Structures are given as structure tokens and as C-alpha cells.
Chains A and B, each alone.
Chain A
Amino acid sequence: MTQFLQQIVNGMSLGSIYALIALGYTMVYGIIKLINFAHGDIYMLGSFVAYIVTTKLGVGFFPAMIGSMVFCGIMGVLIERVAYKPLRHATRISALITAMGVSYILEYTTQLVMGSEKKTYPVLLNNSTFQIGSVKVSTQQIYILVITIVMMIVLQYIIRHTKMGRAMRAVSVDENAAKLMGINVDTVISFTFLLGSALAGVAGILVGVYYNSINPLMGMTPGLKAFIAAVFGGIGSVPGAMIGGLFIGIAETMVIAYGSSLYKDAIVYVILILILIIKPEGLLGKNEREKV
């Protein structure tokens, strides 16, 4: 039982990171129906920026987090403007191929500049552990969970209670109608990329802190898992991304603890295929009928 609770705690910190990445996927997909394959690499960029800023400039955790949020946000908007905007009305397949191209460019440019070897992350948060009952919890895990929840609340506030958020929801329902109502669709889409990428930046620094090592190709697998988390929770839904992220994170740590760590990636894909067969719209997603 103790081990089970311990794994839940570990799974929750991993899951919050997935949830932060999943939010970017779910928002972008909700608005322009594009699986932004490059999103995982944006989060990789975020952790590299934080690494450079903290080792070269010696700043602390929170300034580094802001730095990587800003950088990732700008990168997200830039990528959207250069690569995705010309393809907004092209077929979904061509948009997806473009996203993969962007992902390749980001990964291997980083590898070219930074080298392919693993980088050891500096210790940014003090990592003392304390006991709650019989379960060990580290301060890092608390930080990760709290930061994720704060980000989620801020995001919900922006989406529900600001003018830009209302515009985002309008565009996701019907782009053309939103345009007719005087919403600048291009700005809204860029803003969505800005928000999603900034959250990926936060996830980037948290992963660096949590795993202590980063490398240029680390974005792919967590990116896919986060996407699966978004699908699980219902793509387009913000609370869904949080639930999906936590679920995937906990499932993964459980497999490591009770099964074999070699199968930890397989379980996530099995979950994906199962959810697509049983409930393709996801846990909290709305079922959209295909129109002719």
C-alpha cells in the first residue's frame, strides 16, 4: 500500500509535466485542428534555454522559468507565422507533415549547436524530502505540482474571463463566423500558440529539474505522450488535458513499479489505441459529427 501511494505521488509530478505540455496540444488542436508535432520540441527548447540561462548567467529558478516561457512563446508564434499560416486551409495531412518538418528542424538544429551529448542540469530547487505518513515527498514534487496548478488556473482565467479568451473560444467554434464578428483570427491563433508554447517552456525547465539531464532529442517521446494525454482527456478541453496528463503519468510510474520499465512507453500507446477504439472523443471531449 505504501508503495502504491508512493507511486501515485511520483506519477502525479510526472503527470503534471505531461499535463502542461498537453495543454499546448489541446489548445492548438482546438483552434486550428492541427496536431502540432513540434510542440514537444518547443518544450525541449525551453529546458535548453533555462539550462543556458542558469549555467551561464547564474540566475535562479523563477527568472529562468520566465526566460524560457518568453523564449518558447516567441518561438511558438514564429513557427506558426512561418510554417503553419500558409497552410491554414491546406489538407490536414500537409499540415501534419509540415509540423513534422518543423520538429526535425528544431531537434537537429539544437543538436548541431549544443552537441548531442546529455547535459547535466544544475540543482535549481532544493531537494529535501519529508514524510507524509509513510510516503516520501520531495520539495521538487511539491513545486512541480503547485506550479502546474497555478498555471492551469491562470490559463482557465484567461480562457474564461478575458476578451482574448472569449475570442479564442469563438474561433475554435467557427473560424469564419468569428471573422464576421470582427475578431482578428490571425492574432487569436498566434496568441494561442504563445500561451501553449509558454506552458511548454515551463514544462521544459520542470523536466530538467526533475530528471537532472536533458538532450536535444528528448522532446519527441514526452511530446507524443502529452498528445496522448490530450486525446485521453478529450482534445480541446483544458481540464481534460490535466486529467489525461495525470492519468498517463500515474499509469507510466505504475508500469515501472509493478511491471517492467521496458514497457513504460508501450503502455501509453496501448492506452491511446484503446481510447481511440472505445471513446474517440476522449473523456471530456464533445462528440462532433462529421459534416458533408
Chain B
Amino acid sequence: MSKKILSKANLCWMALSVAVYILLSVLINFRIISSYYTITIYNILINIILAVSLNLIIGICGQFSLGHAGFMCIGAYSAGVITKMMPNLGGLFLGVLVGMVISTVAALIVSVPTLRLRGDYLAIATLGFAEIIRIIVMNMKITNGAAGLSGIPKLTTFTLLFICMVISIIIVCNFTRSAPGRACISIREDEIASEAMGINTTKYKVSAFIIGALLASLAGALFACNFYVIKPTQFNFNRSIDILVMVVFGGMGSMTSSVIAAIVIGFLNMILQNFSNLRMIIYGVALVSIMIFKPTGLLGTRELSFEKLLKRKERKS
């Protein structure tokens, strides 16, 4: 490795995440903000994981998936069932692991045949797949059917959630900058051309899809162990759209913007909680108008990069 892990830019990122962590944990632990806001913050952190992982599939690899809620559902139910039997951190760890294994298998089953399809067929196929997962969960004994699982121990702590979020962002960003990530970007830009350049498009599409699915199932597990109760209806089509709105709103292909969008939409949801119809109409209008007036999203593919900031500073001085 020629590049140092402890480069200036990476140190800046670390400092930023530690600072945000300390700030938020002081706010939460000393009860400076009400528990209402605390729940919103938890929600936002989970949504960041979901948005970043979906952005990997849609923004980086250019594959339009509408089935993210399905993988979240797998993660949530695996963690829910296992932590009910083993209510400790080991149980949560095991649950996450089981969820990830099932998600990988499910993602392989859905992606190998369907990723050969063009964009819009893929969207419908993934949507159908997520619905199938939900219907299966609704009909199984172990998941307690349509009534949902309740009494899941609350194991998601703020620290755990924050660490998982940071790790997810690191995984996705590093994947994007790696050779497979570049291959994915070339697939997004022009699938036929990248195939002609000798890129095994199916392999890279499937790998991006699986990483996205894994992170979604992690988010699902954290979600289940945070809210005590999970129901199949929580993982329906609307949930997939919620995540999609974050990705599109921020800009497909930019992780920074997904994070920002998840935060903004998290607060928007909190404010509009009592006007759910209005919230959905706003979502719809936002989707349509972003696509018409600024199809790249608010930030496009730009990223917040300390490397560039530092370089600019050096040049100035």
C-alpha cells in the first residue's frame, strides 16, 4: 500500500465522525433533546445506511432496484426472531449474520437471472421479489404472520448504530473507488461499451447488488432491535420508495448527498408526521419536479472531499 491509511484527509473524516458522535451522544445522553428527537436521530441513522446502500445499486451501478425494503425485511425478521430467543448483543450479532446470509442467497437468486434485464424490467422484477418476501413473511409461523413480531429486545444503542453507519459508508465509498467500483461506474455510463472493454458486467452488477442487499439487511436488523415491534406492512413498496426518494433527492451517485438527503427527509418526516397524506403528496411533487428540473438531484455526483479541500488550501498558501 503506497497510500497511508492515516492520510490527512482520512484523519479529517475521522475527526468529523468523532465530533458528530460526541455531539449527538452528549445531546442524547444528557437528555438535552427530547426523546422525540432521539427517535428521529435513530431513524435518520438507519435511513442513512439504507440510502447509501441503495445509492450503490442505483447511483454507482446504474441498476434500478425497487426491492430494497425486501432485504431490509429479511434483516429485520432474522434479527427479531433470534434476539427474542437470545436477548443479548451476541443474539443481535448472530441475527445480523443470519440476515446477511439469507439476504445474500436471496440477492443471488433474484439478481443472477434478472440483472440481465434492462432497467425498467429490473425495477419491476425487484419490486415483485420484495413483495414475494413480504408475503412469505406474512405467512410464516415463526414470524407471527400479519400481526408481526413484538417484544423484540431493544439492543440498538446509539453507539452501535453510529458505528454501523460509519462502517457502511466506508464500505460503500471504498467499493466505489476500487477497481470493481470503477467497473460498476462504467456499466452505469454505458453497459455495451464496458462489456466491449472486457468487463464482466453481470459479475459486477451482482456484486454491487449483493453489497447493497447486505447493508440493507443490517439496517433492517438495527431497525428491528430499536422499535420493539415489526410488522410485514412496514416493509412494503412505500418503504422502498421512501429510500428511493432519499437517493434521488440528494443525487444518484453521490454518497454525501444521500447522507444529507436522509437527514433532511428525516426531519421533514418528523415535522409532517401528523399530515401523512400531505407528506406523500410532497414526496410525489418533489420526485416529479426534481426529475424535470434537476434530474441529477441536489448535489449531482459531487462529493464532500477533504482531499480536495486540503489541496485547495495548500495551493492558496
Contact = CB atoms under 8 A, between A and B. Distances in A.
A280 to B, nearest CB: 6
B113 A277 contact: yes
A226 to B, nearest CB: 12
A105 interface: yes
Interface stretch (B9-17, B20-28, B279-287): B279-287
A277 B125 CA distance: 10
A97 B259 CA distance: 20
Interface residues of B, number: 42
Interface stretch (B35-43, B93-101, B126-134, B159-167): B126-134
Contacts of A101: 283-288, 291
A18 to B, nearest CB: 15
Contact of B136 (A33, A87, A266): A266
Contacts of A260: 139
Interface residues of A, number: 48
Interface in B107-162: 110, 113-114, 117-121, 123-125, 127-129, 131-132, 135-136, 138-139
B287 A104 contact: yes
B253 to A, nearest CB: 12
Contacts of A273: 110, 113-114, 125, 128-129
Contacts of A87: 291-292, 295
Nearest to A102: B288
Interface stretch (A88-96, A126-134, A150-158): A88-96
Given A90-B295, A101-B284, 19 more contacts: A90-B291, A94-B291, A98-B292, A101-B291, A104-B284, A105-B281, A105-B284, A105-B285, A108-B278, A112-B281, A266-B135, A268-B128, A269-B129, A269-B132, A272-B128, A273-B110, A273-B129, A276-B113, A277-B113
Interface of A: 33-35, 83, 86-87, 90-98, 100-109, 111-112, 116, 220, 224, 227-228, 231, 260, 262-263, 265-266, 268-270, 272-273, 276-277, 280, 290, 292
12 contacts: A87-B295, A91-B295, A97-B248, A97-B287, A100-B284, A106-B284, A224-B124, A266-B131, A269-B131, A272-B125, A273-B114, A273-B129
Contact of A92 (B58, B119, B277): B119
